[in-house]
Structure formats: structure tokens, C-alpha cells
Structure 1
Amino acid sequence: MRGNYTITYHENDIMPARYAKALSYPAGLSVLRHLSSLKPFCFTKTANDLPITYYTVSEHLTELKNAGLVLGSIKQPEDHYCVNYEN
């Protein structure tokens, strides 16, 4: 019988898992590759440049940002993102 318990993982295990999750789909790699070829970019322009849907770009940017691979800020009327080269 399983009980309720919490497993605490070391940060050295958590970060690579986040990277793997964010990069596990070709669309995520495509977004990151496109991002790395630009200066900080506007979300709308990038969504229009890639052969994937606006929604898919948004979802993968969220995963990349959650993994720390992308930095972003919301400056109305557009969101701006860039690659986090420190990670």
C-alpha cells in the first residue's frame, strides 16, 4: 500500500529534468533555435515567423521560461523574450 510522502530532489537533478521537459518536443527546440538567432524579440513576430500555431509557440515559450532557458517580460502591447545564456 502506498502512503503519502514527499520526495525531495537535489537541485542538480531538478534543473536538467526541467531542461529535458522544455526541449523534449521539436516545437520547443524550434522556438529556442529561432530565439537564439535574434536579439530580444517580440512574441507576435516570432509566432508569425515559425510554421507552428500561435498557441504552440506560447506553450513552448512558457515551458522554456519555466525551465530558465528563456527570459521574458511583458511590455504592453507586446511580450519580449530572449535566451538565458547563463543556463
Structure 2
Amino acid sequence: QAAMDACKAALEADAEASSRAADSLGERVLTLSRSGTVEAAISEAEPSRVVVAESRPGREGVGTAERLAEAGIDVTLCADSAAVTAAS
């Protein structure tokens, strides 16, 4: 039961963190790699533009960019080294 309670608390904390982060996001967002919390915040905030650096060599950001695009968010995927330029 203690493990189940800890898992529930962790899920609730993650949901709270993503909601708070969504309140802080502007119209343009730059992010790197993959984070479920960040992805949830972006989906909730619905910024006008998101740039996702792919995070080489694992390319974890590719899936993030795909999911955000499927949700109707204007997203640009770029190499890590191009992130600052792509976000301009």
C-alpha cells in the first residue's frame, strides 16, 4: 500500500508541476529532448510556436515534436546545435 501511495503522490506532483509550468510559458517555447512534464505543460499552455531540439545521439526530442505536432501545436524540430538559431 505504501508503494501505491507513493506512486499516486508522484503522479499528482507531476501533474501539479506541469500545470504550474504551463502558467509560466510564453507564446514561444524552446525545449530539449523529452520530458513528460514539459510536454504536458506545453500541451496545456498551447504556445504559438515550439522549437524542440532533438537531443542527439538518442533523438528523444523527435517523439516530443511529433506528439506536439499531432496535438496541433506549431513545432519545429532541429539539431541541438541549431536550437538558438531556430528559436529566433
TM-score (norm 1): 0.29
Q: Say which structure, 1 or 2, has more relative contact order (CA 8 Å, 6+ apart).
A: 1
The structure with more radius of gyration: 1
Q: As a proportion of its length, which structure holds more helix?
A: 2
